[in-house]
Amino acid sequence: MADTSAGDWLRARLDDPWNSTMHAVVPHGFPAYARVLHPAIVRSLPDRPVPSFEEYERMPEAEHLKMRDQFVDEPVTWADTASAFGTTLHPLAQWQRIVRTPPDGDWNLRLSPDGREFTGPIEGEIAPETLTIIAGHLAAHTTSPDAGFAALWEGRGDLLGHLGHAPSRTLLTFTDDPNHQAMLGRSIRDPLNNSFRKPTWQEGILSREISEGPRFRLPGRDHVLFRAGVEDFARPDWVMHVPWRDRPGEEHGFPPSAQSPSILWPDDHAWTLVSEIDYDSTIIAGSVDLVAAICADERLEAFAIPENADLTWDADEVNR
């Protein structure tokens, strides 16, 4: 959008970006807040625990290949994860505490005592089907379900085009054709000459007009702003209709996809949805009834949280 002033009200309700509460990214002034936890992934073997790294390294290659075919990856809730690690799930829980991460450990990949491998939740984005569920509740709690705004954080590497030498991303199709392989080899060496070449426009998902257009600027984050009604996201096929659908990816054989909005709000400002890029959960600010409906939906793992909640990485005092 050329005019981004529609978000001025939201900016006015944010704290300093270095504030330790969620209000560095989530607006103040709403009666209630909900936190929707993003699912994690659990990997298991049907007949035995997942081996430790050391055990895996000692296995013969044939055993590695056999095991790879047997792995089962499934979404897992934070509640099931807490049960596996013997920790406590509560509204302000933090993932690295739930999975008992040691001070210098990798919180994103942890083995539970029962031998399953847990991979942390995706940060800054929610699955399309989850957004559809949430959007159904949001649409029922605004007078303008067909009119509002969606903001996408500009920092996604493939979203915007830019003037430069290197593309926003590289989508390669590999074949056995020797001419094609030679071309790929040349393209890999080619960046060595970039400093002598005139910058050209490198395409992204969005058009050049949008890529070079105004930004909706918030403390620490700049966004591309779109007109969007929440009822559009309540459709199961919303990915097919948004202007930031990843059509370049589809041209290279990838299935249709589109990132979920970083921020979403209706014209009447009845609520705000925030999927902050560094958060492993999505925050909805709105009415008491809206938050109650979201937290009661069994398809979501959600909690009511207080205003000024601290969701930083070390805020989970229960599981310390």
pLDDT of 142: 98
pLDDT of 167: 62
- Cβ distance 124 to 157 under 8 Å? no
6 vs 67, residue with greater confidence: 6
pLDDT at 147 over 80: yes
pLDDT at 185 over 60: no
- The answer to the question of residue 46 being in a domain is yes
CB atoms closer than 10 angstroms to residue 218: 19
pLDDT of 199: 81
Let me know if 255 is exposed, middle or buried by CB neighbors in 10 A (0-12, 13-18, 19+): exposed
Instruction: Name the domain boundary from 90, 119, 148.
Output: 119
Q: How far is CA 275 from CA 87, 123, 272, in A?
A: 25, 8, 10
Residues 44 and 98 in one domain: yes
- The answer to the question of residue 192 being in a domain is no
Residues 61 and 131 in one domain: no
Residues 218 and 89 in one domain: no
Residues 26 and 44 in one domain: no
Domain that holds residue 246: 5-38+124-163+204-305
At residue 171, what are phi and psi to the nearest 5 degrees?
Answer: -110, 105
Mean per-residue pLDDT, 8-24: 92
pLDDT of 69: 64
Task: Indicate the range of 258-267, 280-289, 308-317 predicted with least confidence.
Answer: 308-317
User: Which residues, including other chains, have CB under 8 Å from residue 51's CB and lie 6 or more apart?
Assistant: 59, 67
Residues 244 and 291 in one domain: yes
- The answer to the question of residue 184 being in a domain is no
Instruction: Name the domain boundary from 119, 150, 174.
Output: 119
- The answer to the question of residue 142 being in a domain is yes
Among 67, 95, 69, which residue's Cα sits nearest to residue 82?
95
User: Which residues, including other chains, have CB under 8 Å from residue 278's CB and lie 6 or more apart?
Assistant: 123, 124
Residues 147 and 82 in one domain: no
pLDDT of 174: 44
pLDDT at 214 over 70: yes
What is the pLDDT confidence band of residue 73, given thresholds at 50, 70 and 90? confident
What is the pLDDT confidence band of residue 166, given thresholds at 50, 70 and 90? low
Instruction: Count structural domains, the chain.
Output: 2
pLDDT at 153 over 70: yes
- Return the DSSP state at 286: E
Average pLDDT value over all residues in the chain: 87
Task: Indicate the range of 15-19, 21-25, 51-55 predicted with least confidence.
Answer: 51-55
Among 216, 312, 285, which residue's Cα sits nearest to residue 36?
285
Residues 24 and 74 in one domain: no
- The answer to the question of residue 319 being in a domain is no
- The answer to the question of residue 193 being in a domain is no
What is the pLDDT confidence band of residue 158, given thresholds at 50, 70 and 90? confident
- The answer to the question of residue 173 being in a domain is no
Q: Which helix (H) or strand (E) holds 221?
A: strand 221-227
Residues 9 and 76 in one domain: no
CB atoms closer than 10 angstroms to residue 250: 12
- The answer to the question of residue 137 being in a domain is yes
Mean per-residue pLDDT, 42-48: 76
Instruction: Name the domain boundary from 85, 119, 153.
Output: 119
Residues 80 and 90 in one domain: yes
